[in-house]
Amino acid sequence: MAKSSCKLFTNGSCDSPLLTRSCCHNGCEASQRSQCLARGYGPGTKIDYIPVRAPVNGRLFRRMQQSEAILAAGTPLLEIDDPATMENVTDLLSTDAVKVKEHQEVIIEDWGGPQALKGIVRRVEPFGFYKISALGIEEQRVNVIIDFVSPHEEWASLGHGYRVETRVMIELRDNVLKVPESALFRVGSDWDVFRVADDADGGTV
């Protein structure tokens, strides 16, 4: 699982924003400068500390600084986010990722809840990376970004970094004949299956 995080940073001067987000919104910097001026801190004013206010409502995910300390400008303090905005990042083999398209349906399973969740593909990243599998095999992988479709109440217990299994629906067909996998056998490069048919003498084979 992944999330669109928001990090708070220290800043020792009012020449720069009071705090900065890794996912900045328009007008955020201007708002923080206004906070400095409202407290009587003019441009270039040096102060011992600055009260840091979160630019968004959310939940505290991680605290980088555990106790009081003198910090350099730009040091991250906290990471906050709205859990309802979390996304799923699944790494697929590149040979599978080329079959995945935006807006395809996704089934999210084995996440610990009582039922499977629904998602939708938002983006297939255009670059891959190498990853060593559990068997020690070097694989070429591609990240696929998936948004949840199921209501947040159904997966509220999920958190950042949790493990899930995903299945992307690359093709959907109606009225498809299904047979057991054990009934299939190879004929050259094709898959074949025996079927019951009437012969010319009226018998069944």
Phi, psi of 194 (to 5 degrees): -75, 145
Tens digit of each residue's pLDDT (9 = 90 or more) over 162-200: 999 999 998 888 888 888 889 999 999 898 988 887 766
Tens digit of each residue's pLDDT (9 = 90 or more) over 111-125: 999 999 999 999 999
Query: Do you know the residue count of the chain?
Result: 205
Residue 151: Cβ within 10 Å count: 11
Domain boundaries, the chain: 2-10+83-168
Q: Which two tokens stand for residue 188?
A: 């050259």
Q: Give percent above pLDDT 70 in the chain.
A: 72
Any idea what DSSP says for residue 204? B
CATH class of the domain at 2-10+83-168: mainly beta
- pLDDT at residue 81 above 90? no
**Which has the minimum average pLDDT: 13-22, 40-49, 63-72, 187-196?**
13-22
Tens digit of each residue's pLDDT (9 = 90 or more) over 46-56: 665 667 777 77
Contacts 24+ apart (CB under 8 A), 57-61: 57/82, 58/6, 58/82, 58/83, 59/83, 61/3, 61/5, 61/160
Q: Which two tokens stand for residue 81?
A: 């986010």
Amino acid 197: pLDDT: 78
- pLDDT at residue 9 above 60? no
